[in-house]
Amino acid sequence: MALTCDFRKLSVTAQAELRRIAVNMVLGGMKRIELASAVGVNRRFIGEWMTAYERNGEAGLAGGKRERRPGEQKALNTRQEAMIRRIVASKCPDQLELPFALWTREAVGQLIARKTGITLFLTAIGTYLAAWHFTPQKPIRRATERNEAAIENWLKRDYPAIARRAKKEGAEIHWADETGVSNQANYGRSSAPRGQTPVIPRPPAAPSR
């Protein structure tokens, strides 16, 4: 049954309640075009209400405010944004005992909920990541035992000597590797600052036999 009164003439409280009812009906499976006809509003308003709900939960349905401008009325404040951004850029989810290997939107959402108590929809999390210039990237797996100083020293001092000796003796240098098996594979992509490939520290895989 279509709404008989003009939605615009309803009180602010009644409009907010109707928005909440409409959102719940969409979440319950009702088609937006059918709901728009029942409520007596243009279909685009249903879409706007859903977007407001996804961004800010029921608080976004209160109404009485102009359209949000960039940076205004965000769920996270500046300090919280900086904290989450820093953690995602420097840590892996499992280092924080989160049940993820990579920084997916779901993983970032759980981090935000744990650190701030705020629950966000995936669309809102994606908006934050984009605003932070974080992009989904294929990470590099790196052994936790890796000694960067020793590697740099070997490349600068030891290997050049080996290469000179091989050239002097007419020998060839062959590089070999081994196949490993690990239950900590990191297939997929992880959010990280644009241009900074994420590194996933992992114990070396046991060689296959």
**Token duo for residue 3:** 């709404």
C-beta separation of 185 from 126 below 8 A:
no
At how many degrees (to 10) do helices 12-27 and 43-56 cross?
A: 90
Three-class secondary structure of residue 5 per DSSP: coil
Instruction: Report the pLDDT averaged over residues 15-38.
Output: 83
Highest mean pLDDT among 5-19, 55-69, 152-166: 152-166
Q: 56 in helix, strand or coil?
A: helix
Residues 109 and 38 in one domain: no
Is residue 184 situated within a structural domain? no
Domain count, the chain: 2
Considering the domain architecture, whether residues 119 and 34 belong to the same structural domain is answered as no
Shared-domain flag, residues 83 and 127: yes
Q: Tell me what pLDDT residue 60 has.
A: 78
In the prediction, which pLDDT does 71 show? 42
Cα gap 61→101, rounded to integer Å: 35
For residue 157, being part of any structural domain is answered with no
- Residue pair 190/137 in contact (Cβ under 8 Å)? The answer is yes
**Position 42 confidence tier, pLDDT thresholds 50, 70, 90:** confident
Instruction: Determine which helix (DSSP H) or strand (DSSP E) holds 88, and give its type and residue range.
Output: helix 78-90
Q: Answer yes or no: do 193 and 118 share one domain.
A: yes
Q: Quote the domain boundaries for residue 35.
A: 7-61
Nearest CA to 135 among 189, 60, 205?
Answer: 189
- Residue 68: inside a domain, yes or no? no
pLDDT tens for each residue of 88-122: 998 889 889 999 888 999 999 999 999 999 888 88
Q: Tell me, what's the pLDDT at 96?
A: 93
| 196 and 100 part of one domain | yes
Asked if residue 82 and residue 46 are part of one domain, the reply reads: no
Whether residues 128 and 100 fall in one domain: yes
Q: How many angstroms separate the Cα of 33 from the Cα of each of 54, 61, 141?
A: 19, 19, 48
The answer to whether position 100 is within a domain reads yes
Report the chain's mean pLDDT, rounded to a whole number.
78
Check if the beta carbon of residue 178 is closer than 8 Å to that of residue 205: no
Q: 70 or 61: whose pLDDT is higher?
A: 61
Mean pLDDT of 21-46: 83
